[in-house]
Chains A and B, each alone.
Chain A
Amino acid sequence: MADVNFKDSDFEAEVLKSEVPVVVDFWAQWCAPCRIVSPIIEELAKDYEGKVKVGKLNVDENPQVSQTYNVMSIPSIIIFKEGQPVKILIGAQAKENFKRAIDEVLSS
C-alpha cells in the first residue's frame, strides 16, 4: 500500500469531505513513539481497506490542521466522520485499542 499523507492543503477534500471515516495519524520525524505507531497504522490501513481511509499527517509540515485540532502531543490519532473529529487517541497504544475505536465509529 502506498503511504497516504494528508496536508493542510488537501485536508478538507480528503478528510473532512470523505465518504468514509478517516483515521489520521499525527506524527513527526523527531518523535520516537510515533515510530512505534506507524507500523500499526499501516496494518490498520490494510485491515480496513475499503471501509476506512487511513493516512498520516506530518505536524511540522502541516501546522494549520494540527492547530485546528489542538494537537499538542504526538502520536495523536484522530478519527474523523462526516467532517467531525469523533475519537481522539493520544500516545502509542495497542492495535486492539485502535481497532475498537474504529469499529465503534463504523457501527455508530
Chain B
Amino acid sequence: MENKTYDVIIIGSGPAGLTAALYTTRANLKTLVIAGVKWGGQLMLTTLVENYPGFPEGIDGPVLMENMKKQAERFGTEILYQDFTQGNFDPPAGGPFKVSTTDGKTYEGRSVIIATGADTKWLKVPGEDKLIGRGVSSCAPCDAPFFKRKNVVVVGGGDSAMEEALVLIKFASSITLVHRREEFRASEIMQDRVKKNPKIKILFNTEVKEVLGENNVTGVRLFNNKTNKESEMKVDGVFVAIGHIPNSQKFQGIDIDGGGFIKVQNHTKTNIEGVFVAGDVHDAEYKQAVTAAGFGSAAALEAERWLENR
C-alpha cells in the first residue's frame, strides 16, 4: 500500500474529473486522479467539438482532453492510468477513504470526488455482442475508415447519433439512421445537417431487433413499431449511439437513483460526507462537456471547503 494520504482522490478523467483536479491542485490540495486505462472519457471518442466555449473554430475532442490533462498536471496533479476497482466509503470516524485500483494498490484520500462519467449503452440484441469490433461499433471517429464504400446503419436520435452519421459520410456509400421514435431529440443544427445530406436516409419508428452475421456484420433485422412489420436490411456496419449508462455500479454505500445515476444533494454531495460527485455519473439532465467541467469545479470547491472545516 502507498503510505501517503491524498487530500483529494478524483476517480475519473473526463472534463469533470480533470477540471476538479485543476481546482484542487490550485488550492494546494494533494490530488490523485485515478484516470482509468481509457482515460479522457467520452470526448476521446469524438472528432470536432463545436460547443465547448473558447474555441471559435471548434477543437478535436481528444486534443481538448490532452490539454485539460496537461493543465491539471501543470499544478501538480498526479495521474494514475489504472481502473478503479473498489472503495471503502464508510471508514471509521475521521479515517481516510480507501480506493483500490486494477494494479492491486490501495490509495488513501481525505476526500473523494467521483467523476466516472458514463459508458456506451449497447442495444442488447442478439448478435450484437459477438460482432463488436467486427462491424458493430460505438465510435465512428475510430472505425469509420474501415467502412469505405460500405453500407451502414446508425442507431439513435440524439446529438451523438447525428455526429456518428456525419463522420461516416466521408467513407460509407450509404448511411441509414434508425430511430425508435417519431422524431430526433438532437439539437436543431445537427438534425439539419443530417437531413440535408443526400447520403443519409432516415427510418423513424424503427428498432433494431438483431444484428446478423457470423464473423462480420452482414445485416440487421428491423422492426417498425408503427406498422408492426419486420424487415431485414443488408449492411456491413452498425454504429450504436442510443445513449450512455452512468458508471455508478462500483461505489458501495453511495446511493444511486432508479436510472443508475448517483444521487446528488446541493449540486455536488453524495449521501456520504467527504465524498463528492461531478459530471455525467450524476447528471441525467444536461450531459455536456461544459456542464461536466462546471460540476467538476463546483465539486472541487466544495471538497476544499469541507476539508478546511474539518
Contacts and interface: CB of A to CB of B under 8 A. Distances in A.
- The answer to whether A binds B is yes
Contacts of A30: 141, 145
A5 interface: no
A80 B139 CA distance: 26
A94 B215 contact: no
B146 A71 contact: yes
B102 A72 contact: no
A90 B142 contact: no
A1 B102 CA distance: 27
Contacts of A107: none
Contact of A91 (B40, B133, B216): B133
Nearest to A30: B145
Interface residues of B, number: 26
B158 interface: no
Interface string B228-267: 0000000001000000000000000000000000000000
B141 A72 contact: no
Given A72-B146, A73-B146, A92-B38, A33 B45 contact: yes
B212 to A, nearest CB: 16
A60 B87 CA distance: 43
Interface in B66-116: 82-83, 102-103
Contacts of A71: 146
Interface in B20-79: 37-40, 44-45, 61-62
Interface of A: 28, 30-33, 35-36, 59-60, 70-74, 76, 90-96
12 contacts: A28-B145, A32-B45, A32-B62, A32-B142, A36-B37, A70-B134, A70-B216, A73-B142, A73-B143, A90-B133, A91-B38, A92-B37
